């Protein structure tokens, strides 16, 4: 997270006299005392940024969980339903193992990592429009909103995924991860790629609204070529080399290796390359948000 927070704080000079920020800090007595020793007008930029992020996080979490009567139900039901229908399809065609591991584990690990990516992209892409009223406070910048929305979505999907894997493990459908850190790294890598790509998409949609249809259209083909539904190891070169240009495919394969080191992963799995792609996407996203900050606020 430091790799994200530091450049964001560097490009966003926050103000320090918002009633919204004061209210957010006042609601947390543990953090209130050291900061309230100084007048609000003397807060440092990083103190203001943390207060804004805290207030936005609480707001986004409440909206995601309780925005409607069944908001939290759909939040959990969507990823679970996607995993179950794929398991049902593979069960009907009698495929019990894929790449040396159980089919439910292979499907769940790939689908949940990809859904973390897809839902984070969607939340970040639509973050500016959904929170446009907050830009009346000069402390709140578009980059603040999308960063917090991505964190809320990432934490939510991580909890849902952990629950799915835990229930599947207790019922004997899935095995426990051999390396929890490797699985967490795979989810984090997909999340980082989604944050950067979502910021790029968010700016493109603002500048050229027609691109939103194209972005929504490419998500299904992207799932197909990321190895969620069929093993990439079945693809022969040179087509496999083209598919491995997709960093999400590396994250999905890495999550399966984290569960079962004996999994027959695709040749060419390279997490260093995936991290490089994530950093490039984050840099481009932050650069676009800085370049078009005024337009994002005004439109």
Count of other CB atoms within 10 angstroms of residue 264 = 14
The pLDDT assigned to 45 comes to 67
The pLDDT assigned to 38 comes to 55
d(CA 250, CA 257): 11
DSSP state of 178: S
- Per-residue model confidence as pLDDT tens digits over 160-219: 988 888 888 887 777 788 888 999 999 999 999 999 999 999 999 888 888 888 888 888
Question: Six-digit token pair at 18?
Answer: 């918002």
Contact (Cβ atoms closer than 8 angstroms) between residue 200 and residue 284: yes
The pLDDT assigned to 13 comes to 39
Segments in 67-179 forming alpha helices (H): 71-92, 103-125, 127-130, 142-170
**Dihedral over Cα of 96, 101, 104, 106: its sign:** negative
Q: Is the pTM of this model over 0.75?
A: yes
Q: How confident is the model at residue 227 (pLDDT cuts 50, 70, 90)?
A: confident
Q: Is 117 exposed, middle or buried (0-12, 13-18, 19+ CB in 10 A)?
A: buried
- Per-residue model confidence as pLDDT tens digits over 62-117: 877 776 666 677 777 778 887 887 878 777 777 677 777 888 888 889 999 999 99
Contact (Cβ atoms closer than 8 angstroms) between residue 266 and residue 244: yes
Nearest to 138 by CA among 262, 13, 257, 32: 13
- Where residue 100 falls (left for φ over 0; alpha for ψ -120 to 50; beta otherwise) is left
Residue whose structure tokens are 């917090």: 148
- Higher-confidence residue: 143 or 273? 273
Nearest to 83 by CA among 41, 36, 115, 128: 115
């Amino acid at each position: 997270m430091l790799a994200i927070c530091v450049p964001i704080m560097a490009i966003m000079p926050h103000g320090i006299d918002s009633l919204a920020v004061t209210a957010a800090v006042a609601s947390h007595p543990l953090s209130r005392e050291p900061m309230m020793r100084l007048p609000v007008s003397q807060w440092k930029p990083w103190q203001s940024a943390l207060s804004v992020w805290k207030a936005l996080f609480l707001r986004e979490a409440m909206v995601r969980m309780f925005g409607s009567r069944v908001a939290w139900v759909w939040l959990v039901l969507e990823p679970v339903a996607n995993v179950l229908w794929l398991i049902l399809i593979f069960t009907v065609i009698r495929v019990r193992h894929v790449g040396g591991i159980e089919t439910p584990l292979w499907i769940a690990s790939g689908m949940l990592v990809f859904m973390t990516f897809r839902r984070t992209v969607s939340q970040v892409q639509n973050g500016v429009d959904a929170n446009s009223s907050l830009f009346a406070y000069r402390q709140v910048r578009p980059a603040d909103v999308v960063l917090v929305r991505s964190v809320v979505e990432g934490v939510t999907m991580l909890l849902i995924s952990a629950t799915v894997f835990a229930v599947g493990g207790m019922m004997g459908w899935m095995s426990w991860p051999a390396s929890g850190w490797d699985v967490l790294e795979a989810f984090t890598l997909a999340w980082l790629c989604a944050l950067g790509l979502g910021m790029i998409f968010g700016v493109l949609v603002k500048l050229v609204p027609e691109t939103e249809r194209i972005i929504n259209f490419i998500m299904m083909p992207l799932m197909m070529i990321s190895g969620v539904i069929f093993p990439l190891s079945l693809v022969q070169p040179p087509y496999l080399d083209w598919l491995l240009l997709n960093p999400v495919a590396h994250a999905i394969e890495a999550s399966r290796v984290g569960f079962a080191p004996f999994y027959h992963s695709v040749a060419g799995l390279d997490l260093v390359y995936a991290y490089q792609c994530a950093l490039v996407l984050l840099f481009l996203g932050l650069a676009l948000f800085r370049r078009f900050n005024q337009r994002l606020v005004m439109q």
